[in-house]
A and B are shown apart, each in its own frame.
Chain A
Amino acid sequence: MSDMSSLYHEVIIDHGKNPRNFGKIEDALELKGLNPLCGDQLTLYVKIDNDRIADVKFNGQGCAISMASSSLMTQAIKGKTLAEAKVLFTAFHDLVMQEQSPEAVEAILGKLMILQGVKVYPSRIKCATLAWHALNAILEGKHGVVSTEKNGD
């Protein structure tokens, strides 16, 4: 059961059940993230002030992994510059998507490293990255909806 306890760590259960920064921000940039395979959906709200993420919230529904990952992400990016947020996105992406994630990501991600257990479950990686893809789309100036299942995937 070691793999399971490393993924369903108490921090993840806690954030999954009581997600932080859960809610809506009026007059913010917003983007919807969908994972049609699980039925997970969330909306990310980002308020940018002077090139910095002044506030961030999310709402929606999903599994413990997607809720916890979203919650931990909002904590990690709040107050960061857009460039710093992009660095976090790339580091998190490398952590869960690469077989051997670069050593450097540990220093960048800190607490977010807790989600690396998801790598053992390839079908669950999209749960962990859903909020991050929504964030990345906002950083790239996109609007509307992003889906984990792009055309041709």
Chain B
Amino acid sequence: MTTRDIQRMERRVLDWDAHKIREDFPILKQTMNGVPLVYLDNAATTQKPQCVIDRLARFYSNENSNVHRSVYTLAEEATQSFEEVRKLTRAFIHAHDKKEIVFTKGTTEAINLVANTFGKSLQPGDEIILSELEHHANIVPWQMLAQERGIVIRVIPMLPNGDLDLDTFETLFTPRTKLLGIVHVSNTIGTINPVKKMVKVAHQYGVKVLVDAAQSIVHMTVDVQELDCDFLVFSSHKLYGPMGVGILYGKEEIMKKLPPYQGGGDMIRSVTFDHTEYADIPQRFEAGTPNVADVIAFGEALKYIRSLPVDSLIAYEHELFEYAYQGLEEIDGLGIVGKPHLQAPIISFMMEGIHPHDIATIISQSGVAVRAGHHCAMPTSRAFGIPATIRVSVAFYNTFAELDLLFNALNTVNKVFS
């Protein structure tokens, strides 16, 4: 028995838990193209456990009413359930107060919210620092703001291995720097950025920091007080919850000073045609009827995750990642893109002479779902000089057997093209 075999056996033992977890996710029993679905596109969206799906149905079946308005019992209960999720979210990211949690429709809207409120205080010539690893969602809102207000965007370059160039980072600060927008984990190559350290540097220059935690929130413990970031954003749907819910965390003392985002109902204290008095945070940023059902179901996702042993979960995902990494490296002509110092279980790769879209189409016939493309982070791809990659991203319900199916499917791709 080789060392590798022993490793595999040990991993098979761990595998057992994953099989039990899989029972909670009905979609994983699906077939795709006549074979069992092997879902490895978790960075795009995670699957939903039955309890989340049931919670949505229960809300619409028994509890549907609007929040923060009426005083009849049904509406009171809906408001209570909705606000309960704010508390759960606060606890999940270790925020100081539930007022610091704002519900949006996604990470993208949460960043746009900051760009359109905090951004309004910026003057022509002020500067924002972003990185070459950002998702388009943390680039384009700032570019739009730059065009509108004449601010300057500076970019932290990436080193050849996919880590950020932290030496250059420190040189980008000037007296005009007002904000650092930084991704916690790259959605393309999985780089885990040293966000805590970067926040510390930024704060030395009096610069506020927005952390895009869309990919990190699902793979690690995110503690906003430990990071000391000023804003942090993520989405429910990448954390086993429904689509259409995003979270903006913002430090209370900063949020209190920000102007409203959108105008409408729910964000006001009093309205006359001469004057409107805005509500306190967080309602000030939640104009209109929120996505009540999905927020409540997101709360169920948080409860589900908290019921799992977090250390085992992180260790298991890491085992899956290492197994995937080794297995991929053994495939002919396959090259993994980037080798960051610390990497979340997100792996991008290319195969010699074979376009990523052909790979994705072919392995889809073996039931394997992976992402092919630029992953909405074109500057990252461009820095590597490649138009597109295949991306494999695992979740705690994936198994080593599924990764074996991925490897087999990729070997088939090589055969088709040989």
B residues near A40, Cβ cutoff 8 Å? 387
Contact A39 to B374, CB < 8 A, known contacts A13-B416, A17-B417, A63-B355: yes
- Contact between chains at A7 and B361 (CB < 8 Å): yes
Q: How far, in angstroms, from A59 to B365 measured CA to CA in the complex?
A: 30
Interfacial residues of chain A within 44-93, with CB under 8 A of chain B in the complex: 61-65
- Contact between chains at B358 and A64 (CB < 8 Å): yes
- Contact between chains at A38 and B33 (CB < 8 Å): no
B363 closest partner in A (C-beta): A4
What are the interface flags for A1-26 relative to B under an 8 Å C-beta threshold, 1 for contact and 0 otherwise? 10110011000010011000000000
Least CB distance from B36 to A in Å reads 15
What are the interface flags for B347-384 relative to A under an 8 Å C-beta threshold, 1 for contact and 0 otherwise? 00000011111100110011000000110000001000
Q: How far, in angstroms, from A84 to B355 measured CA to CA in the complex?
A: 32
- Contact between chains at A4 and B355 (CB < 8 Å): no
Interfacial residues of chain B within 396-418, with CB under 8 A of chain A in the complex: 416-417
Q: How far, in angstroms, from A63 to B417 measured CA to CA in the complex?
A: 12
Q: Is B151 an interface residue (CB 8 A)?
A: no
A35 closest partner in B (C-beta): B357
- Contact between chains at A65 and B388 (CB < 8 Å): no
- Contact between chains at B357 and A124 (CB < 8 Å): yes
B residues near A65, Cβ cutoff 8 Å? 357-358
A63 closest partner in B (C-beta): B355
Contact A38 to B388, CB < 8 A, known contacts A3-B33, A8-B416: yes
Q: Which of A3, A61, A127 contacts B387 (CB 8 A)?
A: A61
B residues near A16, Cβ cutoff 8 Å? 358
A residues near B381, Cβ cutoff 8 Å? 39
Q: Which of A1, A3, A17, A127 contacts B357 (CB 8 A)?
A: A127
Q: Which of A7, A37, A64, A121 contacts B355 (CB 8 A)?
A: A64
Q: Which of A3, A7, A13, A62 contacts B417 (CB 8 A)?
A: A13
Q: How far, in angstroms, from A47 to B362 measured CA to CA in the complex?
A: 36
B416 closest partner in A (C-beta): A8
- Contact between chains at B358 and A8 (CB < 8 Å): yes
B33 closest partner in A (C-beta): A3
B362 closest partner in A (C-beta): A4
Least CB distance from A2 to B in Å reads 9
- B interface, CB within 8 angstroms of A: 33, 353-358, 361-362, 365-366, 373-374, 381, 387-388, 416-417
- A interface, CB within 8 angstroms of B: 1, 3-4, 7-8, 13, 16-17, 37-40, 61-65, 121, 124, 127
Closest 6 CB pairs of A and B: A39-B387, A63-B355, A4-B365, A63-B357, A64-B358, A39-B388
Sample of 24 A–B contacts (CB below 8 Å)? A1-B365, A3-B33, A4-B361, A7-B361, A8-B358, A8-B362, A8-B416, A16-B358, A37-B373, A38-B387, A38-B388, A39-B373, A39-B381, A39-B388, A40-B387, A63-B356, A63-B357, A64-B354, A64-B355, A64-B358, A65-B357, A65-B358, A121-B361, A124-B357
Contacts A4-B365, A65-B357, A124-B361 known; list 4 others, CB within 8 Å. Answer: A8-B358, A13-B416, A63-B357, A64-B354
